[in-house]
Structure 1
């Protein structure tokens, strides 16, 4: 069975264990949907926003030196959006109605996140589909005499492009 199908089965089992869940989504940290059970919600948009929120969460954790990112909870008038780390390459997002037990949501979300991480880690690494054709080596281009690499050039910003003191950008 493919990993995506196993992840989808985990999402279905999770929704069965927690009837107050209105949706569940597993996505890559880049915002691509791995598996989803989100009726009425656009999964691609949710995956992309979750990845963006994950980035903000990582920055907050780094800034406060609080360790490794684990989870993020958003409470709205109509319910909750909870995001859990599912290993280094995936995230689990759960949608729950406003009557959901938040403690149970965290317990089940953490368990499922760990299970999804294990499923993804056990995925066999794909080998090359076909051998890459060998191309003849291209000789290096000799440098032009008198030219310097960009990294050696001094950074000079003309006065007209510098922010003015007291402006929005100049402080």
Structure 2
């Protein structure tokens, strides 16, 4: 038995629990689709985009000392895209209309992500390991180095915006 039908059932349950839910997907953290319920969206492309977004979100939470990644929410003019951790190896992506109750979406999608993780683990899903991101210390060191470069090139920059995360204009694209 493959894991896909059992996890797809979780996505159908999520659709029943959240009004204006348009579709969902469970994918590995490196962008491989495990199961989906996306009638109008190409799942492979969404899985790749989700993997990229999760990579950025993980680095952001590590760099700011906010702990491990748990979820991210993007709001567009026509709705929401949310990604929830489903264990260390997978992510649940939810697509919903702008009329969705976001609190209910968070509640039910977090639960569904946990159930999908347990089902995949119980059925012996092959481990998928995300590439390691920079450590918190390395990210902090890079930030300090960048701020020193900005201060040297613009001595007044830190005086008028001491807590601004905006890079100085002379910084090189990284």
Cα displacement (A) at 1:56 = 0.2
Q: Mean Cα displacement is larger for which, 29-38 or 115-124? A: 115-124
Query: Which residue matches 2:86?
Result: 86
The 2-side partners of 1:168 and 1:97 are apart by 38
The 2-side partners of 1:99 and 1:109 are apart by 16
* Aligned CA distance change for structure 1 residues 58 and 124 (closer, same or farther; 3 Å): same
Query: Which residue matches 1:31?
Result: 31
**Equivalent position SS for 2:30:** coil
Cα displacement (A) at 1:168 = 7.4
* Aligned CA distance change for structure 1 residues 168 and 57 (closer, same or farther; 3 Å): closer
Task: Pick the structure with more helix per residue.
Answer: 2
Superposition RMSD in Å: 1.7
Normalization by structure 2: what TM-score? 0.71
Give yes or no for contact 2:19–2:101 (8 Å, CA) kept in 1.
Answer: no
Cα displacement (A) at 1:33 = 0.5
**Equivalent position SS for 1:40:** coil
**Equivalent position SS for 1:30:** coil
**Equivalent position SS for 1:2:** coil
The 2-side partners of 1:109 and 1:81 are apart by 12
Query: Which residue matches 2:62?
Result: 62
The 1-side partners of 2:109 and 2:14 are apart by 8
Query: Which residue matches 1:76?
Result: 76
Which blocks of at least 5 consecutive residues in structure 2 are unaligned? 127-152, 154-169
The 2-side partners of 1:102 and 1:124 are apart by 32
Instruction: Please give the residue correspondences for 1:31-50 in structure 2 after superposition, counting only pairs within 5 Å.
Output: 31-50=31-50
* Residue correspondences, number: 130
Query: Which residue matches 1:148?
Result: none
Which blocks of at least 5 consecutive residues in structure 1 are unaligned? 127-165
The 2-side partners of 1:105 and 1:73 are apart by 11
Normalization by structure 1: what TM-score? 0.72
Structure of greater Rg? 1
* Aligned CA distance change for structure 1 residues 20 and 168 (closer, same or farther; 3 Å): closer
Instruction: Please give the residue correspondences for 1:4-153 in structure 2 after superposition, counting only pairs within 5 Å.
Output: 4-124=4-124
